[in-house]
A = this chain, B = another copy of it.
Amino acid sequence: MFSDKTIERLIIYKFLLEKYKANNIKNVFSHQIAEMAGSTPSQVRRDLMSVGYTGNQKNGYNIKELNISIEKFLHPAQNINIILVGVGNLGKAILNYFSDLSSKYKIAASFDVDKNIIGEYIFCSKCYSIDDLDKIVIENNVKTGFITVPLSSAQEVADKLVSAGIKGIINFAPVRIKVPENVYVENIDFSITVEKVNFFAFKNI
């Protein structure tokens, strides 16, 4: 029903509007949103049809109301807990990124096999043994998790996340993990990204 791409753009609009709101501007037109988001006015209007908020021809969209509508459409909850498995360099970088307490999204817990860090707080999140996964996922109503473990254990970790009830996975391991149909996976593979960008970079010379 709702395409991946539309959802992604709505999230972008939301972040842009939040910044915009800061300077006491009340209303915004589709062409202004498009300009900021690198999109087109009709695309913006199309996307906004999904969320059900309608503007008007004189003032465009009321930023505050539009933002609330997008928020509600994307997810009604106030705070979202996520988890992260694999506290290596990349895991730490992501924990750091989300340690900003003002965000709606919080990494409720991290997991690793290294006994030296289990029990420690790393960037505001406590690190646990993977044995505690089920308990923490249920307690914190977690539906989304990062996989930042090495290739060799990625599938195993994915299986554990799925069996704990996780429905969305952001996977950084360079492998296509196999999950049931009702689990959404977003792969971020640095090698593939570099190769793709490099292809278009050389094409653009």
Binding site for B on A (CB under 8 A): 4, 7-8, 11-12, 15, 36-38, 74-75, 80, 82, 88-90, 92-94, 96-98, 103, 105, 143-144, 166-170, 174, 176, 182-184, 186, 188, 190-202, 204-205
Contacts and interface: CB of A to CB of B under 8 A. Distances in A.
Given A36-B176, A89-B96, A12 B192 contact: yes
Nearest to A167: B201
A205 B143 contact: yes
A192 B11 contact: yes
B182 A204 contact: yes
Contacts of A93: 88-90, 92-93
Q: For A37, A80, A97, which residue has the most chain B Cβ atoms within 10 angstroms?
A: A97
A193 B198 contact: no
A16 B163 CA distance: 27
A130 B78 CA distance: 41
A77 to B, nearest CB: 8
A51 B28 CA distance: 45
B8 A74 contact: no
